[in-house]
Structure 1
Amino acid sequence: MLRKIDNENMGRSNLGWLRSIFHFSFAEYYNPKNIHFGMLRVLNDDMVAHSTGFDLHPHQNMEIISYVVDGELTHGDSMGNKSTISRGHVQYMSAGTGVYHSEHNLGEQTLRFLQIWIIPDKNGYTPSYGDYRFNWEDRKNQWLHMVSSKAGNAPIKINQDVNVYALELDKGNDISFPVGEGRQAYMVQVEGKSTVNTMELNQRDALEILEEDIHISATEPAHIVILEMKKIDL
């Protein structure tokens, strides 16, 4: 089963320095029918003005992934970590028993990144942080496996049965993605346009996929992120 989510129907916020599109209920956007997709709790498409950002704030018992689309993202936290990543790179943090962190745009251009929160398989993990600078070419017309569970084989491992993939598909190219029995996936059309089975997706649209393989055709250069996970009702 496939269900398209048009970005025009998603939640929105404009604080001046921060413009956000909320895929699920977050902050001032609340829809009781749209709290999560399986263990995927938050997916925000954030645009952060230069020389601004999120000051130090707490998190607990959440797996947090930040995927940069444009610009630079600088992370700092109460564990002493500080790091800056750019387009196509990923920061990840297991908040566990509790941690404070900040996220700022110290660059000259607007920062766009996907802020992803995943509910862990249990509470009480020791907090941890890491980042990974993926080669952009490794997602050209092929799936780049960025995140997996601790039992998986992706470079980034989190405390949940979730796989995160990125793809840049050239116009006119096709690719498939399997979503087998007992699995589900959430696809984000980050940039460009594509046709998925019979559905047309524009930039910032999303697609819920339940136990169904998909076939993607790029109608223009298409930048895509997919989160594939165990099918579960929370």
Structure 2
Amino acid sequence: MIEHRTLAEIGGVDIGWLKAKHHFAIGQYGNPTHKAVGRLYVWNDDEIAPRAGFSLHPHADVEIITYVREGVITHEDDLGNKGRTKAGDVQVMSAGTGIRHSERNDEETPTRIFQIWIKPNQVGNPPRWSTQPFPRSDRAGRFVPLASGYGAPDALPIRADAEVFGAVLAAGGSIKLELKVGHDAYLVPALGSVLVNGVRVEAREGVALRDEPSLEVEALCDAEMVLVVAANSPTRRQQSGL
């Protein structure tokens, strides 16, 4: 089954310093018909004004992957981590037993990010944070794992039965990815227009694929995409130590 979520259907808020689109319903936010896709349950499309951001706040038992589309995001947490993640790059926070962090745009231009939340398959582990560059040229014409719960080489590790991929596709190009049995997928073009299994998807719109054996993307113009493939049934391991 393929579910196309147009930009007009995706719920959002504008509070001045933050303009957000919520691809999934969570609490009072988002379109209530937009349910989780497997272990994936939050995908926020945020625009953060210059010199603004989220002040120190807590998380626990969630894997948070941030893909920076434009600008820079600065992270700081109560573990002593502090770092800047630039456009095209990725940061991962495994909240574990609990972490307090802030996310700010300390620059002079707006920052635009995708923030993705995935349910973990482990509990009782210490929190951790990391960031890594992913040059767009390395993703040309192929899906590259950016964050992986399956030990993909060069990807940031997450404690989840899921993987986050990035791809860049030139106009007229196509790419195909086989989906693991028991996994569903959600794809959002950061830039450009694409066909996903024959369904046209514009920039910042979403497409969910449930019980599909594969996905095939054709670029109608130069495109940049982020994809999550996540298990569609819960798996949880206690005290794994990873």
Same-fold status (TM-score > 0.5): yes
Task: Give runs of aligned pairs for residues 1-234 of structure 1, distance below 5 A.
Answer: 1-26=1-26, 28-29=28-29, 31-149=31-149, 151-210=151-210, 211-232=212-233
In the alignment, is the contact (CA less than 8 A) between 2:149 and 2:161 conserved in 1?
A: yes
Deviation for aligned residue 1:178 = 1.3
In the alignment, is the contact (CA less than 8 A) between 2:55 and 2:104 conserved in 1?
A: yes
**Where do 5+ consecutive residues of structure 1 fail to align?**
none
SS in 2 for 1:142: coil
In the alignment, is the contact (CA less than 8 A) between 2:142 and 2:168 conserved in 1?
A: yes
In the alignment, is the contact (CA less than 8 A) between 1:140 and 1:169 conserved in 2?
A: yes
**Where do 5+ consecutive residues of structure 2 fail to align?**
236-242
Deviation for aligned residue 1:170 = 0.6
Deviation for aligned residue 1:32 = 4.6
Which residue identity does 2:226 align to in structure 1? V
- Please give the alpha-carbon distance, in whole angstroms, between the structure 2 residues aligned to 1:65 and 1:45: 12
Give CA deviations for 1:167-226 in whole Å, capped at 9, x if unaligned: 110111111121243221111121110112221111111111123312211111111111
- Please give the alpha-carbon distance, in whole angstroms, between the structure 2 residues aligned to 1:49 and 1:190: 19
- Please give the alpha-carbon distance, in whole angstroms, between the structure 2 residues aligned to 1:176 and 1:69: 23
Which residue identity does 1:215 align to in structure 2? E
Indicate the RMSD between aligned Cα atoms, in angstroms. 1.6
Deviation for aligned residue 1:232 = 2.0
Of stretches 153-162 and 66-75 in structure 1, the one that deviates more from structure 2 is: 153-162
Of stretches 197-206 and 13-22 in structure 1, the one that deviates more from structure 2 is: 197-206
Q: How many residues align?
A: 234
- Please give the alpha-carbon distance, in whole angstroms, between the structure 2 residues aligned to 1:49 and 1:30: 21
Give CA deviations for 1:135-189 in whole Å, capped at 9, x if unaligned: 2211112222111115443421111111111011011111112124322111112
- Please give the alpha-carbon distance, in whole angstroms, between the structure 1 residues aligned to 2:142 and 2:75: 29
TM-score normalised by L of structure 2: 0.91
In the alignment, is the contact (CA less than 8 A) between 1:61 and 1:125 conserved in 2?
A: no
In the alignment, is the contact (CA less than 8 A) between 2:24 and 2:42 conserved in 1?
A: yes
Q: Which runs of 4+ in 1 moved over 6 A?
A: none
